Amino acid sequence: MSTLSSIQKEITSSLAIKLGLSTRESLIEAKFILEYVLKRTYAQLYSDRSIILLKEEELYIRNIIKQRLQKKPLGYILKEWDFYGETFLINSDVLIPRQDTELLIDLIFKEYKKETQINICDLGTGSGIIGITLARRFKNSQIMLTDTSKEALIIAQENINKFKLKNAKTLYSNWYSEFPEVEFDLIVSNPPYIDIDDPFLKKDNLQYEPEKALFSGNHGYADIEIIVNNARDYLKEGGQLMIEHGYNQSNLVKLIFENAKFLSIKQHLDINSKIRVTSGLV
């Protein structure tokens, strides 16, 4: 028989010892597992740490840990992950949402009023986290979520349904190949940007995620170049392109924006003072 407190200790120590997670990481994962299995918020769970778990709850938790110790990412075991305060459905066809991507949302929320009526495109939407978070905020705007992975678009659509959104639609498109005759006020993207030939890349940690969500040719810049070099054709005059990129890609990404004749190019820092987003106007 385990109490909440004892099972939490067991989860954190096995994740730390057997997977080498930091204390913080193992505590976060333990929190997600307990919330998920016991279907209560952490605040509710935290208020009584002596709760005794039901046999089936304990078995369920041990099964999750067993899979996790085989290095399967927790998001793919639970089939959901949090982004910007909401829980999204995910599976191994989509990237697990990264906290880094919340910077794009912060910047957009700061710049555009809630009531704004604009056309937005989320290019390479994966599970739909960016487009859907924007659609929930900008109820008077229309959001198009695109991807070249049909499997990803199924998950994005499930998330659109989950949040009962009427102003978000998915589109299968190889970047701009299938774009309709609509001009956008804002195109936002978190494209694949990891250099597949990076000698320092720990591919082990990424082996479960879809390759086309992560890696890009030309030292990680191939997809960024396509997106930036063609965005003008799909943006209104004064429209904006905003993309996430790697912390060490800011100089070249700026150059790509400059060569594509973007105006008012801005680069934005994350909480670690690294430039992770570049934007520009046409």
Ligand X SMILES: C[S@@+](CC[C@H](N)C(=O)[O-])C[C@H]1O[C@@H](n2cnc3c(N)ncnc32)[C@H](O)[C@@H]1O
Rule CB under 6 A: is residue 243 a binding residue for ligand X?
no
Which tokens hold the place of 214? 């992560």
Stretch 175-214 residues interacting with ligand X (CB under 6 A) = 175, 190-192, 212-213
Q: Classify burial at 34, counting beta carbons within 10 Å of its beta carbon; exposed 0-12, middle 13-18, buried 19 or more.
A: buried
- Name the minimum Å distance from CB 89 to ligand X: 13
- Report if residue 125 touches ligand X, rule: CB under 6 A: yes
CB-nearer residue toward ligand X: 190 or 240: 190
- Considering only 34, 61, 95, 120, the residue that binds ligand X (CB under 6 A) is 95
By beta-carbon proximity to ligand X, the closer residue of 57 and 244 is: 244
Helix/strand/coil for 228 = helix
What is the smallest separation between the CB atom of 173 and ligand X, expressed in angstroms? Answer: 6
Helix axes 150-162 and 129-137, enclosed angle (nearest 10): 30
Interatomic CA distance for residues 139 and 166, integer angstroms: 9
CA dihedral 37→40→45→51, nearest 10 degrees, is -60
Helix (H) or strand (E) holding 215: strand 215-216
The whole-angstrom separation of Cα 59 and Cα 64 is 9
> What track of x and - describes contact with ligand X for positions 152 through 171 (by CB under 6 A)?
x-------------------
Closest to ligand X by CB, 11 vs 129, is: 129
**Residues in binding contact with ligand X, number by CB under 6 A:** 22
d(CA 191, CA 221): 10
Residue 220 touches ligand X, criterion: CB under 6 A: no
280 binds ligand X (CB under 6 A): no
Is residue 129 involved in binding ligand X (CB under 6 A)? yes
Binding positions for ligand X, rule: CB under 6 A = 94-95, 97, 101, 124-126, 129-130, 146-149, 152, 174-175, 190-192, 212-213, 223
